[in-house]
Structure 1
Amino acid sequence: MIINEQMIDDIALGATVLGTGGGGDPYSGALMAKAAINNATKPVELLALEQVEDDWLTVPSSMIGAPTVAIEKINSQSQMLVAFEAMEQTLNEQIQATFPIEVGGFNSLIPILVAAQKGIPVVDCDAMGRAFPESQMVTFFLDDLPSAPNTLADEKGNVVVLHPIDGVWSERFARPITEQMGGSAAMCDYPMKGINLKRSALPATLTKAMQIGAAIRQANETGANAVEAVMDIVAGHRLISGKIMDIDRNTSGGFVTGGLRIDKLNTSTHQQPDSIFVHFQNELLVAHCGELASDMSQASLLAATPDLISILDHETGHPITTEQLRYGQRVDVIAYPCDQKWRTPKGIEVAGPGYFGYPVEFVAIEKLVTVDSVQGV
């Protein structure tokens, strides 16, 4: 399948839904990806995971850092290629294919930029099925695949090569380096042969993003309800239709962190809480009933990582990233199941609410949903 401009727009939109608030600004990423495929010497192909040869060297392409930084510091197209080619130089081997480390916003489109410049295909997969804030929160880490080497590059031409013992140490080293690089950097990690990629990656996630994006686009063209169109695809549940009444957002330590309160719309006909609070660290991580962060308890829990939480515009269904959230926006908050790999004991240990310090245990969204609390599809 050859990637075209419509596919890029649909992937950008759908991947921002799956990005659960993180992954970076999709608009600038889509513009850069379109320019890249138009300037490429040959078409960029999207390969199914099973089409990857066992002996191919494959490497993901991504950005690391706080998404809010990109509001004032536009990402450089060249730095992504620098990090990628630094990986080739470090391994002394040519890379045959690239793919997104996460299917989220801008990060879902970076492999298209790199593939267009290198003349290689993009693999229809990722290592999260969503976006997560830290480097070890990938299926490759769950499967004990090595993270090293890592390469990071900034827009000035600085390059750092790391050899961490695992994904946890990759995060510990890469995050402060990213801060010194201005809060965002291009990064390549988890180089692996195709046989391991096929064993560990989550398949067809770019296709899923494309389907979600197309559903939103078509719903707006026909006057259908875009939020319901998204929920049909992701098996989602509406936590609230409401208005953002308060938001606290801070950028430090290479993350954007905070939370927001959403009050139920008076026009809502669904059975929902009067207000909910949503916590985020780049991505939306926990939602619970109540007006304050301190209201959290197991009894008030509505949804929790590693399940997905997305905030969509109430009228258009367009996803809203954490850096774009504003007072007064009318939104729908939906939650839906993560891949089963994240519901294993190790998956919950790595990316569950307890890891982020939230005083609740993970409960699958299917179990949290009741007719008295939220309105499902």
Structure 2
Amino acid sequence: MSRLIDEKDIENIALGAAILGTGGGGDPHIGKLMAQQAIKEYGPVTLLEPNEVPDDALVVPVAMMGAPTVFIEKIPNGDETTKSLRRLEKYMGKKVYAVMPMECGGLNSTIPFVVAAQTGLPIVDADGMGRAFPELQMETFNVYDVSGTPMVVSDEKDNFVVIETQDNDMMEYLARGITIRMGGVGYIAHYTMTGKKMKSASIGYTTTLSMELGSILRSKDDNYVSPLDKMKKVLSTSDYGEPIGLFEAKIVDVDRSTEQGFAKGTVKLEGINDYTEKTYVVEFQNENLIAFEDDRPIVTVPDLITFLDLETFKPLTTESLRYGYRVLCLAIPTPSIMRTEKALKVWGPKYFGYDLPFVPVEERVMTND
């Protein structure tokens, strides 16, 4: 059943989506402020359940693409993504019924609310990843045969490009190059699809799940229950699975650079508390991709790897990781739609250059494999 999303809800969505965003999806604080300002100016946004969208309606995912490290230095005006949507409508000669998130990540879970508020359109409670990924073809939309183009990329200087390609890999390649030349950040509208296709090719209710997770972290419960225990309860009854606390550690080194439009790097950690004498490495490309314990892989994409501040339990994005931070590393099993053979060819560990088969994190932890 549809509901109205207000400024308070955005607080929870931004925080919860940063948990599911695996360190990526853009800065949640900036995205939160943008969405709250838009709602304050234009009014609450209608959040639709996927089954409330007519089968013949036009749905368009909207997002920011580029390196998160660049975005925090290059704050947008606020209407760039809405302009991309309107330019796509004009190019196609069709009106959009609803927008939706491309992925579940800090900024990219709230940017669609900016567009929805500014246009008066509803937003669909679903997305194309159930987490965040660094590349545009890494979408359930792509895996289940939705064309990513026509696509519009706009920047903060009112430049824009319309892209038409034969496949979604080429869409990513061209859009990445354009984004780099726009200064490292672009604002996009793409993967236009019908309501019927959206229902079969997306992961449903991720905005609601983000809102629930964010509410847990922001709540002050007199009868103290660990936030992790609350998150376990919520996630274990969702399309994901029960989160697993991989380790507690202190960050001893962060090697991070912006390359080819991505923030790439490695985080080295030393175990603390029950994990002393162990060392850990997490590698990322915008998002956390793989975690090693003493050189042994313990979780890989597409399962989720999330850092939480050990004191506040607030999620940490890859661009915010610093030497000395004490963190809890959390693994969350990804929804089954992300683990099919067809899907793993698009975003499994082999795609990112790791000569490893995908093993579900719950099996790795259980077998110590």
**TM-score bracket for the superposition, by shorter chain length:** over 0.9
1:313 to 304, 309, 318: 309
2:21 paired with 1:14: no
Aligned amino acid, residue 278 of structure 2: D
Deviation at 1:313, TM superposition (A): 0.5
Structure 1 pair 146–326 and aligned structure 2 pair: CA distance change class (3 A): same
Larger mean Cα displacement after TM superposition, 147-156 or 164-173: 164-173
Instruction: Give the ranges of 4+ consecutive aligned residues of structure 1 lying more than 6 Å apart after TM superposition.
Output: none
Deviation at 1:71, TM superposition (A): 2.0
What is the aligned partner in structure 2 of residue 28 from structure 1?
30
Unaligned runs of 5+ in 1: none
2:289 to 271, 285, 288: 285
The answer to whether the 8 Å contact 1:219/1:225 transfers is: no
> 3-state SS of the aligned residue for 1:45?
strand
Within 2, Cα distance between the matches of 1:365 and 1:59? Answer: 32
The answer to whether the 8 Å contact 1:147/1:165 transfers is: no
> 3-state SS of the aligned residue for 2:353?
coil
What is the aligned partner in structure 1 of residue 252 from structure 2?
245
Unaligned runs of 5+ in 2: 236-241
Deviation at 1:314, TM superposition (A): 0.4
The answer to whether the 8 Å contact 2:61/2:100 transfers is: yes
Within 2, Cα distance between the matches of 1:184 and 1:304? Answer: 27
2:54 paired with 1:50: no
1:362 to 351, 354, 358: 358
Cα deviations by residue, 1:207-264 (Å, 9 ceiling, x for unpaired)? 0111110111125786543334334433111111111011110111010001111111
Structure 1 pair 371–140 and aligned structure 2 pair: CA distance change class (3 A): closer
Please, what is the CA RMSD of the aligned residues? 1.6
Within 2, Cα distance between the matches of 1:123 and 1:47? Answer: 5
Aligned amino acid, residue 191 of structure 2: Y
What is the aligned partner in structure 2 of residue 148 from structure 1?
149
TM-score (norm 2): 0.94
> 3-state SS of the aligned residue for 1:29?
helix
Matched ranges for 1:223-234 at <5 A: 224-234=225-235
> 3-state SS of the aligned residue for 1:107?
coil
Matched ranges for 1:201-350 at <5 A: 201-218=202-219, 224-234=225-235, 235-265=242-272, 268-269=273-274, 274-290=278-294, 295=295, 300-350=296-346
Within 1, Cα distance between the matches of 2:101 and 2:111? Answer: 7
Within 1, Cα distance between the matches of 2:31 and 2:45? Answer: 16
TM-score (norm 1): 0.92
What is the aligned partner in structure 2 of residue 82 from structure 1?
83
> 3-state SS of the aligned residue for 2:107?
helix
Within 2, Cα distance between the matches of 1:90 and 1:117? Answer: 20
The answer to whether the 8 Å contact 1:33/1:109 transfers is: yes
> 3-state SS of the aligned residue for 1:260?
strand
Within 2, Cα distance between the matches of 1:99 and 1:176? Answer: 24
Within 1, Cα distance between the matches of 2:151 and 2:221? Answer: 41
Within 1, Cα distance between the matches of 2:138 and 2:149? Answer: 15
Cα deviations by residue, 1:18-68 (Å, 9 ceiling, x for unpaired)? 00000001111111111111111x531001000001111110110000000
Within 2, Cα distance between the matches of 1:153 and 1:289? Answer: 41
Deviation at 1:128, TM superposition (A): 0.4
The answer to whether the 8 Å contact 1:59/1:188 transfers is: yes
Cα deviations by residue, 1:154-186 (Å, 9 ceiling, x for unpaired)? 000001000011211111100010000110010
The answer to whether the 8 Å contact 1:227/1:312 transfers is: no
What is the aligned partner in structure 2 of residue 352 from structure 1?
348
Larger mean Cα displacement after TM superposition, 360-369 or 212-221: 212-221
What is the aligned partner in structure 2 of residue 163 from structure 1?
164
Within 2, Cα distance between the matches of 1:371 and 1:151? Answer: 46
Aligned amino acid, residue 83 of structure 2: V
Aligned amino acid, residue 325 of structure 2: Q
Matched ranges for 1:86-235 at <5 A: 86-218=87-219, 224-234=225-235, 235=242
Within 1, Cα distance between the matches of 2:91 and 2:233? Answer: 44
What is the aligned partner in structure 2 of residue 37 from structure 1?
39
